[in-house]
Amino acid sequence: MIQKPRGTRDFFPDELEARRDSEETMRRAVSRWGYREVATPEFENLELFTLRSGEGIIEEMYAFQDKGGRDIALRPELTAPVLRMYVNEAKVLNKPVRWFYFGDCFRYERPQKGRYRQFWQFGIELIGADTSSADAEVIAVGYDLLRSAGVRFELRVGHLAMMKSLIVDLEVDIQKKVRGCLDKRDYGALHEVLPDTGRADQLTALIESKNLDDAFAITGAIPEEERIRETFAILDAHEVPYIQNFGIARGLDYYTGCVFEAFAENLGAENQIMGGGGYRLAHLFGGEDTPSCGFAIGFDRVMVSRGEESPRRPVTVAVVATPEGRIDSIRVASAFRKAGVRTITDLLGKSLSAQLSQAAKHADYVAVIGKREVEEGMITLRDLSTGEQKQLTIEDAVAGVVGIGVS
Ligand code: HAM
């Protein structure tokens, strides 16, 4: 038996319907903020991802040469592709651009619960607005989307300027290591990485600070202070509950400003359900330097977090027939489908009783067409939840089911 590749999943109908349901809910929520959907190719020129992150990132990607000898990568995320798309068309776009996306990404990671090699991201990018209102809007949209999807989570918001102000004078190599420790939330390792313990203590105090005044008392005055204070105030006005955390460093190295992450309450080790922040990428792809802000939600983690709750199944009719009723049953089934009702017929030539017991498993109504029904031009409609049965014309049966289906 051939197996699926490591780190990938198949989705059976129940699971896929639940996923589509959540996807739709999130699409509706993001549309309310004026974001419109875009799509980009699943593979890109490798360079798009190495330009900012360096060759090291190739290890974490599905990268290969195509038959023309071009270096290609399956997208590990959608921010770089969406920004490439923006740069290609930037001149004709009205700024700020509000885009969202839902698509699969590929990372060559060690699979475990909640971490896959093919996974889906639902994200937004707000391009061309460099204000505290823009930062706050993006965070508020992320909060709204996760809430609407039924996830219980904690939102942590920070700003890279705070942490950077404490390490800016150190060698770039050490700065990178510090960010690495913070990203892994391995705060103990700060003392090993940083030569003087005073600085490690300062960073630890910054990470643990509970309000802005305490945090600025540690960093001293920094140029971003007003922007940070405003962003937090606007978030409060959006009524978004969050926890301040100036230890957020983010794994991807394109972030420049505000950074935020959300952690689901009921997931295990892989509980980061959303990550995002302000960044600049457009100039790297040949465009003008453009401030942007965005996030991506790990859609697979949303599905695990919201649990087994299955979506409402559409009302289903099983049309069952004796051999005399078989041809009429096709017409009856068509009438239900034309009215938008999910309708199933027997394809295996089963007996009436076998068709009825099959119907009981997946239908809400059974439309029976036997010899008598054919002669009288009627159908027998049985409501499987109540057992109630009526003889009706096709039109009345369809109207009855549709009426109940939409109520
Ligand atoms: P990221 O933090 O790398 O950010 O990924 C965003 C989310 O994708 C994570 O919080 C996590 O929920 C989910 N995720 C990541 N890797 C996996 C995996 N292997 N399996 C399942 N879920 C995963 C980004 O990708 C940025 N592009 C976000 C962004 C958008 N920043 C600005 N705009």
Atom of ligand 1 nearest to the CA of 294: 33
Of all protein residues, the one whose alpha carbon is nearest to atom 11 of ligand 1 is: 298
**Sequence-separated (6 or more) residues with CB below 8 Å from residue 148:** 25, 26, 28, 29
What pLDDT sits at residue 406? 40
- What's residue 172's pLDDT? 86
Are 177 and 283 in contact, with CB atoms under 8 Å apart? no
Q: Of 366, 361, 362, nearest to 387 (Cα)? A: 366
Is the C-beta atom of 257 inside 6 A of ligand 1? no
pLDDT, one tens digit per residue, over 125-180 is 999 999 999 999 999 999 999 999 999 999 999 999 999 899 888 888 888 888 88
Pair of tokens at residue 230:
């405003």
- Distance from the alpha carbon of residue 139 to the mean position of ligand 1, in angstroms: 15
Instruction: Please name the fold of domain 316-404.
Output: Rossmann fold (3.40.50)
Q: Do domains 13-306 and 316-404 have the same CATH topology?
A: no
pLDDT tens, residue by residue, 302-352:
999 987 666 677 899 999 999 999 999 999 999 999 999 999 999 999 999
Atom of ligand 1 nearest to the CA of 261: 10
Please state the domain extents for the chain.
Answer: 13-306, 316-404
Per DSSP, the chain holds a count of helices (H) and strands (E) of: 15, 16
pTM of the entire predicted model: 0.92
End-to-end Cα spacing for the chain:
46
CATH 3.10.330.10 fits domain 13-306: no
Structure tokens at 169: 């004078």
CB 160 within 8 A of CB 249: yes
Inter-CA distances, 254 with 113, 278, 384, Å: 27, 9, 57
Q: Where are the alpha helices (DSSP H) in 296-393?
A: 299-306, 326-338, 352-362, 371-376
Pairwise CA distance, residues 258 & 332, whole Å: 59
Instruction: Determine the pLDDT at residue 152.
Output: 94
At 355 the three-state DSSP class reads helix
Residues of the chain with pLDDT under 50: 405-407
Q: Ligand 1, from 98, 116, 272: best to mutate by most atoms within 8 Å of Cβ?
A: 272
From 77, 259, 281, 290, mutation site for ligand 1 pocket: most ligand atoms within 8 A of C-beta:
77
The verdict on the CB of residue 77 being under 6 Å from ligand 1 is yes
Q: How far is the CA of 77 from the centre of ligand 1 (A)?
A: 7
